[in-house]
Amino acid sequence: MADEERLWQRRCRRLWEWLGERPVEAALIVVPANVRYLTGFTGDSTYLLVASGVAIAISDGRYEQQLQEECPGLELVIRGTTGEPMEEAVGRAVRRIGAGRIGYEPHGLTCDRFQRLQMALPGIDWQPMEQVVEQLRAVKDAEEIGRIREAIAVAERAIGAALEQVDLRAQPTECRFAGVLNMCMRELGAEDEAFETIVACGARAALPHARLSRTARLRLEHGVLCDWGARVEGYVSDLTRLIAGPKIAAPLQRLVDAVLAARDAAIARLRPGVPARSVDAEARKVLDEAGFGRFFKHSTGHGIGLEVHEAPLLRPNSDVELRSGMVVTIEPGVYLPGRYGVRIEEDVLVTEQGPEVLTSLPPVIVLT
Ligand code: ZN
Ligand code: ZN
C-alpha cells in the first residue's frame, strides 16, 4: 500500500537512521517528550521500543484507545489489568522483536526502574543513549515551527489582554497579575502555561527566578519583569519583557540599554554552523564592556519546543553547532542585588538566511 507515511513512521525511521552507526538492535524511549515527539501520542506513562522497521508502544489500558486514535498502525503492548509491572511489559515487547543489545535513556529512568528492567530482562546488554532523540528534536520541521509561532502569538496577545484587565498603576500583587495573565493565555488558545509565570519588580526582579509572591506589590517605576509562555499543541513559547511607566529611572534605563545591546549582538550571531557557545560569548562580551558582566548569572538562551529548556543550550561550555530549523531563546539579563533586575527574552528561528526573530512585542512595554 502506498499510504502516506505517518508521523510516527517518519520520526521512528529517522531515529533508526540516526542510530545506524551505534551497536544497538533496538532503542527504549522513556522520556515523555521524546515519546511524544516520535509518536504524536499526547498521554503519559508510555514507553516506546524502536528497532529497524518496527516500533512498539508499551502502555496501559487507560491509553489503548487514545494510542490507536493518535498513532494509527503503531504496534502496542498493553500492560495486563492485574497490575503487570512496566518492566514485564517491556520484556514482552523486547521478546517480540528479539533484540539483545538495547539503547536506553539513562536521563529518563530512576535507578530503581533501571534495576527492575535489568532484573526482568536478564541477558540484555543495555547501552546508555543520552540526548539522542533530544538532538533530533533540536531541529524543527515546518509544522513544529508553526505551533511555536502560534504559542508566541497566544502569549503576546495574552499580555495585552491582561494589561487591559489589571491596572498595574494600582499596584496589584505579583500573584494577581500572573493569575490573570495565565487565564488570558488559556482563553486565547493555550492548553497550558509553558512554565510557572514569573512576575517581579525592583529588588525582587533581581532574583532571576523569583517565585510569585501573594503580598509583594508591583510598582511600575521599578520596572515589572514578566517571564511567561504558552503551550499550544504541545509546543511552547518563552518570553520576557519589562513593563514600565512612561518615565524610566536613569539607572534602570542603563540596564535596559546594556541588555538590549547584548540581545542584538547575540541574535546577530545566530546562523547555521556557528558554535552555540560563541552566541553566549557574544552576549557576555557586550555586558562585560558595559560593566555588568558579573551581574549576568545564567546562560544566554536555550532551545524551545515540546519542552521549555531543550537542546541546543547557548552557554559557555556548549559544544553544539547551530543548525537551520533550531528555535532558541536569547535572554541576556542583568541583576543588581537589592535594586533592579532586567532580562529581555526573544524566541528566534535559525535559518540559512540568518536569524528570524519570532517574537514581536517591544522589549519594554510602556504604560502611559
Ligand atoms: Zn523565560
Ligand atoms: Zn527561557
Residue 82 has pLDDT above 90, yes or no: no
Give the whole-angstrom CA distance, residue 258 versus residue 206: 15
| CA 51 to ligand 1 centroid distance, Å | 37
Q: How large is the average pLDDT for residues 64-76?
A: 96
Task: Give residue 198 CA to ligand 2 midpoint distance, Å.
Answer: 11
CA dihedral 175, 179, 185, 190 (to 10 degrees): 100
Q: How far apart are CA 194 and CA 124, in angstroms?
A: 38
Class at the top of the CATH hierarchy for domain 3-137? alpha beta
* Stated length of the chain: 368
Share of the chain above pLDDT 90, in %: 89
Ligand 2 mean position, distance from CA 262 (Å): 15
Alpha-carbon distance values, 21 to 15, 17, 42, 169 (Å): 11, 8, 30, 60
CATH 3.40.350.10 residue spans of the chain: 3-137
pLDDT at 2 over 50: no
- Using the mean position of ligand 1's atoms as its centre, give its distance from the Cα of residue 183 in Å: 18
Closest ligand to Cα 193: 1
How many other C-beta atoms lie within 10 A of the C-beta of residue 127?
A: 15
Residue 40 contacts residue 8 (beta carbons within 8 Å):
yes
23 C-alpha to center of ligand 2: Å?
36
Rounded distance, CA 357 to CA 343, Å?
Answer: 17
Domain with CATH 3.90.230.10 in the chain: 142-366
CA distance 94 to 76: 12
Provide the CATH number for the domain formed by 142-366 in this structure.
3.90.230.10
Which pLDDT score, from 0 to 100, does residue 3 have?
A: 60
Measure 154 CA to ligand 1 centroid, in angstroms. Answer: 15
The CA 27 to ligand 2 mean position distance, Å, reads 30
Give the per-residue pLDDT at 1: 45
pLDDT number for residue 202: 87
CA atoms of 43 and 81, how far apart (whole Å) = 18
CA 132 to ligand 1 center in whole angstroms: 25
How much distance in Å is there from the Cα of 225 to the middle of ligand 2? 13
pLDDT of residue 320: 95
From the CA of 164, how far away is ligand 1's center (Å)?
22
Tell me the C-alpha to C-alpha distance, in Å, between residue 289 and each of 26, 249, 268, 283, 323. Answer: 51, 21, 18, 10, 29
Cα separation, 282 vs 301, in Å, equals 12
To the question of pTM greater than 0.85 for the whole model, the response is yes
Ligand 1 center–CA 301 separation, angstroms: 9
CA–CA gap between residue 172 and residue 217 (Å, rounded): 5
- Specify the pLDDT at position 4: 76
Cell numbers linked to 292: 555588568
- 149 CA to middle of ligand 2, Å? 16
Nearest ligand to the CA of 309 is: 2
Q: Which ligand is nearest to the CA of 196?
A: 1
Q: Rounded CA gap, 358 and 155, in Å?
A: 12
* The C-alpha cell that represents 356 in the structure block: 528570524
What is the pLDDT of the chain when averaged over all its residues? 95
Q: Which ligand sits nearest to residue 229's alpha carbon? A: 1
Which ligand is nearest to the Cα of residue 308, counting in written order?
2
**DSSP 8-state secondary structure symbol assigned to residue 212:** P
Mapped to the 3 state alphabet, what secondary structure does 192-211 carry? EECCCCEEEEHHHHHCCCCC
Cα 197 to ligand 1 centre (Å): 8
- Compute the distance from residue 345 Cα to the ligand 1 centre, in Å: 6
- How far does the centroid of ligand 2 lie from the alpha carbon of residue 300, in Å? 9
Ligand 1 is an ion; residues with CB less than 5 A from it: 227, 238, 345
CB of 126 within 8 A of CB of 104? yes
Q: Rounded CA gap, 213 and 255, in Å?
A: 24
Q: Partners of 56 in the beta sheet?
A: 49, 75
Question: Which letter does DSSP use for residue 107 in this model?
Answer: G
Measured from the alpha carbon of residue 330, the closest ligand is 2
Give, to the nearest 10 degrees, the angle between helix 250-268 and helix 276-289.
150
pLDDT tens digits along 311-357: 999 999 999 999 999 999 999 999 999 999 999 999 999 999 999 99
| Closest CA relative to residue 60, chosen from 108, 95, 94, 92 | 92
pLDDT class for 211, splitting at 50, 70, 90? confident
